[in-house]
């Protein structure tokens, strides 16, 4: 069971930018993207689409 759901630093329904087609030029902004709901930790500042991956970057609840 993931401890993130009981943590004060946990945010769900956080928008994540997903790039469908990357830009072909560094000078143009022609990438195609959409947003999906994800998870965010305000303690370590990471955003993930899988809630179990949030604790891999450091966790206040586990003392890391």
Domain boundaries defined on the chain: 15-57
Q: Name the pTM for this structure.
A: 0.72
Q: Which of 40, 22, 39 is nearest to 31 (CA)?
A: 22
Q: In this predicted model, what pLDDT tens digit does every residue of 9-40 receive, in sequence order?
A: 899 999 999 989 988 888 888 899 999 999 99
Q: Residue 33 has what pLDDT?
A: 92
Cα separation values, 39 from 21, 33, 44, 52, Å = 23, 18, 12, 10
CA 44 to chain CA centroid, Å, is 11
Residue 1: pLDDT above 70? no
Q: Residue 24 has what pLDDT?
A: 86
Cβ contact 57:44 at 8 Å: yes
Residue 59: pLDDT above 90? no
């Amino acid at each position: 069971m993931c401890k993130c759901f009981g943590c004060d630093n946990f945010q769900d329904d956080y928008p994540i930018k997903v790039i469908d087609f990357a830009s072909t030029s560094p000078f143009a902004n022609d990438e195609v993207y959409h947003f999906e709901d994800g998870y965010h930790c305000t303690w370590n500042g990471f955003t993930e689409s899988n809630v179990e991956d949030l604790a891999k970057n450091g966790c206040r609840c586990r003392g890391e």
